[in-house]
Amino acid sequence: MGDILQALLDAWLEIFLFFPRHIFSWSLSALEYAIDNLPVIDIVDPATLTSGFTGDLVYFLSIMEFDYGMGAVSTALMARFVLRRIPLIG
């Protein structure tokens, strides 16, 4: 009797989970299709981007600690974004 009840419960579970599994499989297939069709990004070497800076600009950027400032600002913005997503804090 226990085996029949277990088989019946397993069959009901398969029937109940058929559509959620199908929807999840379809959504993953759609996501895979979307990711496959993203354009390829050309990566540029940073040295070629900064080669156009004049000596005066490089001098003032180094005095103003531009590299540290940009890192600090981007870290602060990222922390703000993450903290806003926490329900009790944001």
**pLDDT grade, residue 67 (50/70/90)?**
confident
SS3 6: helix
Give CA–CA dist 80/16, Å, rounded: 42
Mean pLDDT computed over 46-68 = 85
Indicate the average pLDDT of the chain. 88
Residue 90's pLDDT is 57
Mean pLDDT computed over 21-42 = 91
Is residue 83 within 8 Å of 89, Cβ to Cβ? yes
Q: Does residue 35 register a pLDDT over 80?
A: yes
